[in-house]
Structure 1
């Protein structure tokens, strides 16, 4: 790899990463705002119950939606790289339909979640009373979920639009729309939670409205900036609904890849919930900060997925390898920087999440216990985030699925569960059960000699139906996706979906 090529790739990666990172920061910042406002009500059950509700929504809906939607990201990036932009618009329609379909399927579970919540937090005692004093937490989570469940519809639309833009190397609109959503969320929390005293109901309404604002602003930017003219040929529902096999062949392993990780992380919250409201509130605060720390390498991984996918779409195996290595180096750097900032601010950031004097000391003490563990495993999380993006860009979600399933569910979550059973380690076990296992995915995805591509997937293009020449995967064959016209229309001309 020449120095000039590496610098050029680093610049392109950075141009995608920084707006993606700020957009992700604003998106997660919405739940951070909720945690801060609810935490300062002085009731650990309020914060813990709300986060229990959000976790259940993530497990049942957000993770499956984003997992299946990895197919849209992979195919769209490769289609754009191959000079077939009309397929990017078609994949947007397909992604929207699949995302909304999943949302509608799980909405009833979020509207009537009480039995599932009781199962997750340990059930009831023999006399029918709340086991472990969790009645208030379950009641809070149930009320929150019923008001929060409509958020799945704007979230489904936003995820499809986000992948549509990123596949075209466009990220700045995501920054502005998510920032608008964050501002709306902050104002609504101040109005509804602090001002009107609506508590969890006000917080849920604020989060839903903020996501609607996010999508509305993003659609406005796309239409007003004519960012769709290159790829959009009008609605084609019959075409989008046909030939789902290649999409699902990527999307279902992507579902396993994302859910194996996300469910394990959320599973630690359910384990900790069995020990009461105070441990749950402490763990909710920890998880929020953990997600904030994860965003920088996740942004790098998201950009890497686009860069690798586009390179494979145009048949450039060497460029895909270069994009992967540059992303790994960038991810490691951002991981070190993020963990250093959080460690340096360890004396004050836990206080953002507590407001009641009676429980403050206990929650702060619990958070102090986990900080060393959090810092140690930050780099392995970085590796996992970046390599996961590389695998998605190369259409090898199946490899990521195997790695995540083994790492989190065979090794990590059982180890974390064993630690959680020790009352004095209720928070430390929850974090330790998820973080160190990410290194196993790195070992799986990074197999190969130094002379070979860093993963078997780096030069494989599902869109083209073949392995890119020069790869270790030349024998692989993929069912071709919709084949476009040989002559593409000019960028400003209307796009046709005709075969």
Structure 2
């Protein structure tokens, strides 16, 4: 197909999927005309394959970055786990609580940057609006984190009220207090990553974490064993790694690529219209949190089943935090892609992209299922040598493997909803699916003969309900209306002053 609306060059395998814009200020109607022409001349299956390939290329570095990011705490759990089953349970439980609170702010709250920045990048003439959004995000999310820090400081009383074993109450509370300084580094690092991802710069997070991941392993070993700090050396070492990751990412943006959208410090603009951003960030926290909190409730319930079930649950959840990077990373890529397309006023392609992301997630979920089933009998030994823990992990793993397909669908469709700024829809679906049926049912099964397996049966049911409902909702969306809403968010969120076209740059950078 032609690369522009006026070109007469015959199409070939190197021809761009979408027409190129010659400048940021080019008339979007000309681009739209060329785009429609290219759509009608290309077989539908090629458009679908091209979109799936683009999403794959965009999501792979994001998935790898999140995997390495989660490996920081996974390595910490592995190092601590060699001390004793109690130390393993304490570290894993503490990081799970961190995941359901502070990490939730980082990964859920920054979905507001996903929604607004990706649309602003293709819909605004002033690219430095992204720098203002980054500053606004850091201000809002730091405020959210301050609340979490207070909760961590008083967590001993919270854990005791929840009926956890005494060593968990005392040791996990101390663990989290040591993690408070480093947790803010995690939040800022995630905000910086989203700033770059909105510009279709996906790889720096991976580069940075390739440095800090082995550094984190070394620091954990030194702090825990060489400096004889025990389990409390782990949160200090991991916190240092988080801040190092953030600083390295900033240096990358300054000296390599990414500063083009930074217009300098602008505190007055950053605090302007902070309310709409805070609302969207809060809804993002609720959207992601309604699922993660359900897993936290499962961890609390596992703690009441005894030390071995809690240790087995800790192994499974630590592993699942790594596996979850696949659907979550794909969801981030889908969110950014949809935001770009909605900002460029391309509703038809946005719809196709959403369905391609869902299809790709099912394929990846099936692959993960096969891997987990093939390794279920030895999987537990990666984390602990206790035969009782390994055997229980093997018994529960089929249910964990089964829900990977639904988890992938939930990640991709959830990302599509966030790209449309509809975080509240995903939150509502999660609330109904988890808390009104599947979660209470799983807890009932757990304490009526099914044990830990009963908890995971409930999770399977919830994930399949969520995945199915969200895909239906995405499929029934009015995409022309979503374009209008995206344009409206640029105005009310003070993120743009006009409209341009940068989708082709996004596509080239992603691939």
Kindly state the Cα deviation for residue 376 of structure 1 after the two structures are TM-superposed.
1.8
Contact 1:147–1:205 under 8 Å retained in 2: yes
Kindly state the Cα deviation for residue 31 of structure 1 after the two structures are TM-superposed.
1.9
The Cα offsets for residues 231-258 of structure 1, whole Å up to 9 and x where unpaired, read as: 1111111111111233234223222211
Contact 1:78–1:311 under 8 Å retained in 2: yes
Whole-angstrom distance in 2 between the partners of 1:275 and 1:347: 22
Describe the shift of the 1:483–1:215 C-alpha distance in structure 2 as closer, same or farther (beyond 3 A). Answer: closer
Whole-angstrom distance in 2 between the partners of 1:6 and 1:108: 48
Q: Is 1:371 the equivalent of 2:413? A: no
Whole-angstrom distance in 2 between the partners of 1:464 and 1:413: 34
SS, match of residue 421 in structure 2:
coil
Kindly state the Cα deviation for residue 425 of structure 1 after the two structures are TM-superposed.
3.4
Contact 1:269–1:430 under 8 Å retained in 2: no
Q: Is 1:267 the equivalent of 2:297? A: yes
Specify the alignment match of 2:21 in structure 1: none
Please show how residues 141-220 of structure 1 align to structure 2 within 5 Å. Answer: 141-220=172-251
Specify the alignment match of 1:444 in structure 2: 469
The Cα offsets for residues 429-452 of structure 1, whole Å up to 9 and x where unpaired, read as: 33223232122223322337xxxx
Q: TM-score, normalised by structure 1?
A: 0.86
Whole-angstrom distance in 2 between the partners of 1:4 and 1:289: 36
SS, match of residue 472 in structure 2:
coil
The Cα offsets for residues 130-189 of structure 1, whole Å up to 9 and x where unpaired, read as: xxxx22222221221111122221011011111111111111001011222211111112
- 1:456 pairs with one of 466, 477, 482: 477
Q: Is 1:395 the equivalent of 2:421? A: yes
Describe the shift of the 1:454–1:216 C-alpha distance in structure 2 as closer, same or farther (beyond 3 A). Answer: same
Kindly state the Cα deviation for residue 462 of structure 1 after the two structures are TM-superposed.
7.5
Please show how residues 11-410 of structure 1 align to structure 2 within 5 Å. Answer: 11-41=53-83, 43-84=84-125, 85-122=127-164, 134-229=165-260, 231-355=261-385, 360-410=386-436
Contact 1:388–1:400 under 8 Å retained in 2: yes
Whole-angstrom distance in 2 between the partners of 1:91 and 1:173: 19
SS, match of residue 380 in structure 1:
helix
The Cα offsets for residues 389-428 of structure 1, whole Å up to 9 and x where unpaired, read as: 0100111111111111111111222122112224x53321
- 1:6 pairs with one of 37, 48, 52: 48
Q: TM-score, normalised by structure 2?
A: 0.84
Describe the shift of the 1:202–1:478 C-alpha distance in structure 2 as closer, same or farther (beyond 3 A). Answer: closer
Whole-angstrom distance in 1 between the partners of 2:64 and 2:173: 31
Q: May I ask how many residue pairs the two structures share in their alignment?
A: 459
The Cα offsets for residues 108-149 of structure 1, whole Å up to 9 and x where unpaired, read as: 221232100111235xxxxxxxxxxx2222222122111112
Specify the alignment match of 1:474 in structure 2: none
Kindly state the Cα deviation for residue 485 of structure 1 after the two structures are TM-superposed.
4.1
Whole-angstrom distance in 2 between the partners of 1:483 and 1:294: 31
Contact 2:215–2:241 under 8 Å retained in 1: yes
Contact 2:149–2:180 under 8 Å retained in 1: yes
Kindly state the Cα deviation for residue 193 of structure 1 after the two structures are TM-superposed.
2.4
- What RMSD in Å do the two structures reach over aligned CA positions? 2.4
Kindly state the Cα deviation for residue 486 of structure 1 after the two structures are TM-superposed.
4.4
Describe the shift of the 1:102–1:33 C-alpha distance in structure 2 as closer, same or farther (beyond 3 A). Answer: same
Kindly state the Cα deviation for residue 387 of structure 1 after the two structures are TM-superposed.
0.6
